[in-house]
Structure 1
């Protein structure tokens, strides 16, 4: 790889990260307005869409670390948004699910979030969004 290729790759990474930060800033108010952190929102959204699951599956769905997830789940449990119960199939594991309060919260926050995502991504045409999806899926090959 020559220096020009390295510089192009570096610039692509920088532009990608700046775009990601901008997108995050644009959509973050959609859950901050409800007193939810980004990780809490992701937990609520995954549990709402997928149902209760083991902690290890939840961690892999939202790309969190187990140490961070322990704190997040403990706080969410204190807030009454989730419950934790022993998995009857594997007594060593816990299942996490939404309480009625947690379900109510995500039902309020999710439409606002989806609208913020739509508004933010509408800077790209539908074709550009499809192209972006295709391009980003290439990183799955790593």
Structure 2
């Protein structure tokens, strides 16, 4: 299906990825104001949120879910561990691997900050109808599905 340029660009010439990036940066800036109360940087918040939602994960799975390279995760996890927010334990089946879980202080932090972050996100949706949000989610999920399929199509299997 060939798209018209009007589907790809908005009235100011911005593409969907450009707008998604802009909105994401604005959300990060607003969330950081909330996280500053506990001296947490936004990049570390993502690890805490995933662990709060998913429970204990191995370091590679955690990195995938956060969307960060596993090598980049090491300094973040070092910092979170030093602060007593997460705990790493060796995988008994493979001593090169670690499992990561939230400690009580990490859980407390997420429980304390998440309602405020959620309220900020909710406030950002002022003026948008529930129907428009259903359409938005449908569109976003379809774009995600398309991009995942495109990535898989590029994978060469021997």
What TM-score do the two structures reach when normalised by structure 1?
0.84
Q: Which structure carries more relative contact order (alpha carbon 8 Å, separation 6+)?
A: 1
Find the aligned partners of 2:50 and 2:56 in 1 and give their Cα distance.
9
Deviation at 1:94, TM superposition (A): 0.3
- 2:15 is aligned, of 12, 15, 25, to 12
Would you say the 8 A contact 1:55–1:96 is kept in 2?
yes
Could you list the per-position Cα deviations for residues 89-112 of structure 1 after superposition, in whole angstroms to 9, with x for gaps in the alignment? 433310001111111111111111
1:91: which partner in 2? 95
Q: Which residue of 2 aligns with 1:112?
A: 116
- Return 5+ residue gaps in structure 1 as ranges: none
Q: Secondary structure in 1 aligned to 2:101?
A: strand
How many pairs does the alignment contain? 141
Change (3 A) 1:80 1:128: same
Match of 1:22 in 2: 26
**Cα distance in 1 between the residues matched to 2:68 and 2:36:** 19
Deviation at 1:79, TM superposition (A): 0.7
Bigger shift: residues 12-21 or 54-63: 12-21
Residues 8 and 101 of structure 1: CA distance in aligned 2, closer, same or farther (over 3 Å): closer
What's the TM-score, normalizing by structure 2? 0.77
Higher helix fraction (1 or 2): 1
Instruction: Tell me the SS of whatever aligns to 2:40.
Output: coil
Unpaired stretches in structure 2, ≥5 consecutive residues: 148-158
1:49 to 44, 49, 53: 53
Displacement after TM superposition at 1:128 (Å)? 1.4
Over the residues paired in the alignment, what is the CA RMSD in angstroms? 2.4
Aligned to 1:141: 146
Inter-partner Cα distance in structure 2 for 1:89 and 1:29: 41
Which residue of 1 is the match for residue 75 of structure 2?
71
Comparing 84-93 with 73-82, greater Cα deviation is found at 84-93
Over 3 Å counting, the alpha-carbon distance change for 1:124 and 1:25 in structure 2 is: farther
